[in-house]
């Protein structure tokens, strides 16, 4: 769907590269611009590089060097989207201020993915997903480590949707946009259920909310064989069916109770049967409840397998006309496409700041004649 769209991705770590990968899945040509010595740190995390970099191209440029900046400028002449995750002001110090980009490349869509945003007292502050979620309030109900980097993930998705909207608008106006995508904003947005609960009054850190464990009908429970069961009987008819199947009619009116005594009673009830016994009951009564699976178990789940999300890679999280968009499987080596792009741009010689620096292992292999 994005065939013919060129995206230059200067971002690093998880949110920016994920946005780039989503655009690649949708058909864009994504060129990842990486610093020559180590590249994007995701390359050093086993498995993450494969998930985020498959289907993109890699050009190695040192943007602190004039030659690297020159090549980037030439690439921008061809680009539709520039995706970057530097701290505010860094791109300007490298010679590509917002005003210059707008003047020289008026149709370019620029998306800046940062932790705290381009403005405000925290704009230049260091951070990671955990700290953005902490400030956004999304860690408060359970006061526990999150299992998913929500701010990073939602930040990538929101950046991608804003980029697509800007590209659509450009078809009408011919003009690009600058998108300020803050991971803090994404964390705040993802916490919308907590904000809704605030209408009843402020909540303290560690105070469970209806969807984070306060309700007996919507919680995780241990079974007799020490497996975790996710019970989602949030609607009255589902809770009624649960009480009937479990043989506890006295609990029917306690569905939305916040009493610890009621929760303990349901805990003891669930502990009385194995996971398999509960799943058999729930299947017959059509009750929303499922076992908590590990990632390995999820990969083998029949519904996950049927949807085709997980093969050797992870797919785009939607089907389009019955087909799951997905970028190519090849994961580029650092700087693999540098020479090809120099040729496409008509730059004959490599200068300082252009091209990948070989590691000592690669230099040794080359010296031994094992690599050309």
In CATH terms, the fold of domain 6-190+317-345 is: Rossmann fold (3.40.50)
Q: Minimal CA–CA distance to 286: which of 247, 232, 249, 250?
A: 232
Domain locations along the chain: 6-190+317-345, 210-307
pLDDT band at 78 (very low <50, low <70, confident <90, very high): very high
Helical pair 183-190 and 129-136, crossing angle rounded to 10 deg: 50
Per-residue model confidence as pLDDT tens digits over 264-305: 999 999 999 999 999 999 999 999 999 999 999 999 999 999
d(CA 278, CA 67) in angstroms, rounded, equals 65
CB atoms under 10 Å from CB of 182, counted, come to 24
Give every CB contact of residue 51 below 8 A, 6+ residues apart in sequence: 21, 313, 314
The DSSP code for 252 is: G
Give every CB contact of residue 74 below 8 A, 6+ residues apart in sequence: 345, 347
Per-residue model confidence as pLDDT tens digits over 14-54: 999 999 999 999 999 999 999 999 999 999 998 898 899 99
Least confident range from 139-148, 153-162, 308-317: namely 308-317
Greater confidence, 184 or 363? 184
CB atoms under 10 Å from CB of 348, counted, come to 7
Distances (CA, A) of 358 to 37, 103, 166, 370: 8, 37, 38, 14
Per-residue model confidence as pLDDT tens digits over 167-206: 999 999 999 999 999 999 999 999 999 999 888 889 999 9
Distances (CA, A) of 35 to 94, 96, 214, 219: 13, 17, 48, 46
What are residue 314's DSSP bridge partners?
310
Highest CATH level, class, for 210-307: alpha beta
Query: What is the rounded average pLDDT of the residues 112-125?
Result: 96
The pLDDT value given to residue 110: 98
Residues 87-116 as b or e (16 or more Cβ within 10 Å = b): bbebbeebebeeeebeeebeebbbbbbbbb
pTM of the model: 0.90
């Amino acid at each position: 769907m994005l065939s013919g769209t060129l995206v230059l991705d200067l971002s690093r770590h998880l949110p920016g590269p994920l946005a780039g990968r989503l655009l690649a899945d949708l058909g864009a040509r994504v060129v990842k611009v990486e610093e020559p010595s180590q590249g994007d740190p995701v390359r050093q995390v086993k498995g993450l590089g494969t998930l985020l970099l498959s289907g993109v191209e890699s050009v190695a440029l040192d943007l602190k060097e004039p030659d690297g900046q020159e090549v980037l400028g030439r690439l921008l002449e061809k680009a539709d989207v520039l995706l970057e995750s530097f701290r505010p002001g860094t791109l300007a110090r490298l010679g590509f201020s917002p005003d210059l980009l707008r003047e020289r490349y008026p149709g370019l869509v620029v998306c800046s993915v940062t932790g705290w945003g381009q403005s405000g007292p925290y704009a230049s502050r260091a951070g990671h997903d955990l700290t953005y979620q902490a400030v956004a309030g999304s860690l408060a109900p359970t006061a526990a480590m999150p299992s998913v980097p929500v701010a990073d993930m939602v930040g990538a998705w929101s950046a991608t949707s804003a980029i697509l909207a800007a590209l659509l608008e450009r078809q009408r106006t011919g003009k690009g946009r600058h998108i300020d995508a803050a991971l803090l904003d994404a964390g705040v947005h993802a916490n919308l259920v907590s904000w809704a609960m605030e209408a009843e009054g402020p909540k303290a850190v560690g105070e469970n909310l209806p969807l984070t464990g306060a309700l007996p009908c919507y919680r995780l429970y241990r079974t007799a064989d020490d497996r975790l069961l996710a019970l989602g009987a949030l609607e009255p008819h589902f809770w009624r069916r649960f009480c009937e199947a479990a043989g506890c009619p006295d609990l029917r009116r306690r569905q939305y109770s916040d009493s610890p005594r009621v929760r303990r009673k349901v805990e003891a009830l669930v502990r009385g049967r194995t996971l398999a016994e509960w799943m058999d009951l729930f299947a017959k009564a059509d009750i929303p409840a499922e076992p908590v699976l590990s990632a390995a178990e999820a990969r083998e789940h029949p519904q996950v397998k049927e949807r085709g999300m997980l093969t050797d890679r992870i797919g785009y999280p939607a089907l389009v006309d019955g087909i799951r968009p997905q970028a190519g499987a090849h994961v580029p080596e650092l700087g693999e496409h540098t020479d090809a792009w120099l040729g496409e741009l008509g730059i004959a010689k490599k200068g300082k700041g252009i091209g990948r620096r070989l590691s000592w292992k690669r230099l040794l292999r080359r010296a031994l004649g094992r690599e050309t």
